[in-house]
Structure 1
Amino acid sequence: MFIKTADKKPNKCVYAGSFDPPHLGHADIIGRCNMLFDGVIVAVGVNESKKYRYPLGKRLEMLEKICAKYENVTVTSFDGLLVDFLREKGIVYYVRGVRDENDYEYEKRSFDFNVSKMNDIETIFLDCSSEYKNVSSTRVKRLLDEKKSVDKLVPPEIIPLL
């Protein structure tokens, strides 16, 4: 699935999410995408009807810090439909991280719903590493609200930004 094409065009992928805030599970998927693809775009989706804890600029800043160690990873944002963003960037691989069967079923339903719009896009599901199965942005926010440590849930470089 990740074999280079005959004309040697580099494979690139998009890993998109709200990243509110990014956590070690996200960082793990980004690192694995970096190993699998020649280029990775980490894209923060903007949904005006959704309420975020962290403003877009802060989420981008956190992701920039997480991704700074990778030469071929870029961080950006997009609004509108993801499929339009993928096509605009000329990307055919869309990566989703899944922690468990529930995540997979949710992503599969979402994929099935959107497949008619995305027949030129390949969705790749990456299983989350076992040590991050219980990590989520919701859990990070809850612990922060309770004034508890999130050191084991988020990359150290973004702790000062939380």
Structure 2
Amino acid sequence: MGRTLQKKKNRSSISKVKHKPKSQKRLLHHPIIAQNWDKNLTFAQNYSRLGLTAKLNKSTGGVERKVSDVRREEEEGGESRGKVDPLNITAATKRKERLDVSEVRIERDPETGAILRVMDEGKGKRSNPLNDPLNELDSSEEDEDEEGEEGDDDILNL
């Protein structure tokens, strides 16, 4: 049964697709990479050893760690495990590690230096969660609406 199908394929004018050697990736084309390439390691291992990245996006699954690296991290304190890859493309919704710095007027205790209260906690500014630079230039229609709503609350509280 399979033999007749194979004969039919051989008689067909449509030949097999054969890839040319040019279309294959030349991993060892660059002389520095070729000189430092270790044939016993994988592509990703060789690239990471040379300080390059094999993938631009974040790798899925686990990351292979060597025993010597794990021991060195334990001696240093283990902080290097959570480091951020600068070439990694992350989602825009991810929370920042550090918050933006802003200025606030505070009142301190003269003896201890402890903060007693925060004086100007954003009274003049509207909230800007998306960090829109045009938010400051926006018209004051929303401020007028907020004042009108406060008056409505007084009426409802009667």
Same fold (TM over 0.5): no
TM-score (norm 2): 0.22
Radius of gyration: which is bigger?
2
The structure whose RCO (Cα within 8 Å, separation 6+) is larger is: 1
Which one has the bigger strand percentage?
A: 1
